[in-house]
Amino acid sequence: MWYLADKPLTSRLLLGTAGYPSLEIMTDAVRASKTNVITVSLKRQMPCDMDGDLFWQTIQSLDCNILPNTAGCRDAQTAITTAEMARELFQTSWVKLEVIGDDYSLQPDPFELLHAAAELVKRGFEVFPYCTDDLVLCQRLVDCGCRILMPWAAPIGSGKGLLNPFALETLRQRLPDVTLIVDAGIGKPSHASCILELGFDAVLLNSAVASSIYPVTMAEAFSHAVIAGRSAFEAGIMPERITAQSCTPLIDTPFWHQEIAL
């Protein structure tokens, strides 16, 4: 068990709810993942053949903590307004804050993000800012009151995994008391396991499951991956070496060839 914004959770996998082939598959994937937290967006719509009311009813029936997000927002004021709507609708102060600054890479706008985060913290929100792995930006977000950060591993939906492990390791070392959740760029379970091995608290993903051939099976695979990664971190991973080192002690002469002392 671990705590996210003072709430006890049993899973270190957070899962998105967009882009699944059907509502039924999404529901089965969420359950197979064993996640305690799912994200939903107010600005994005489900495909037209799905009933909106049925979608929201299904979300509520999953018995997960809901993390509304401000996906699609391009400036601080729009993100703040969206967060206020989400708090009213879902009766939660949690918000995954997204303020996109570039349409090609979907990279967050650091200036608008920091502005929105500071204002939302003042308004009593528990802000989960989606950010890059830039140490200075992350420190500024912490300074304005964010207890949780969501740095990317790679651009949203790219599936490239950890593009800059050094930057992520630096964040973990420099911000030891901050809850760090890698969000975006994860493509396969081994990526998630590597992130947990670095000491990050959790991972959040969507496309890696929703865009797979068998989303339910993939969700289950990610569930196992985060457990393995966290267990490895807690067990203490051996240090890397630049030379070979045998794990079996060697002696010059096998014991059965040694001369008997008289």
Which sequence positions are flagged as catalytic?
A: 96
Confirm whether residue 185 is marked as ligand binding. Answer: yes
- Cα 14 to its chain centre, rounded Å, is 6
Burial zone of 105 (CB within 10 Å; 0-12 exposed, 13-18 middle, 19+ buried): middle
Confirm whether residue 16 is marked as ligand binding. Answer: no
Among 131, 43, 145, 147, CA closest to 85: 43
Rounded CA separation 91/105 (Å)? 32
Backbone angles phi, psi at 245, to 5 degrees: -145, 115
Confirm whether residue 206 is marked as ligand binding. Answer: yes
Backbone angles phi, psi at 75, to 5 degrees: -150, 165
Rounded CA separation 2/10 (Å)? 7
Confirm whether residue 184 is marked as ligand binding. Answer: yes
Confirm whether residue 83 is marked as ligand binding. Answer: no
Q: Which residues are annotated as a binding site?
A: 157, 184-185, 206-207
Q: Which residues are annotated as a binding site for 1-deoxy-D-xylulose 5-phosphate?
A: 157, 184-185, 206-207
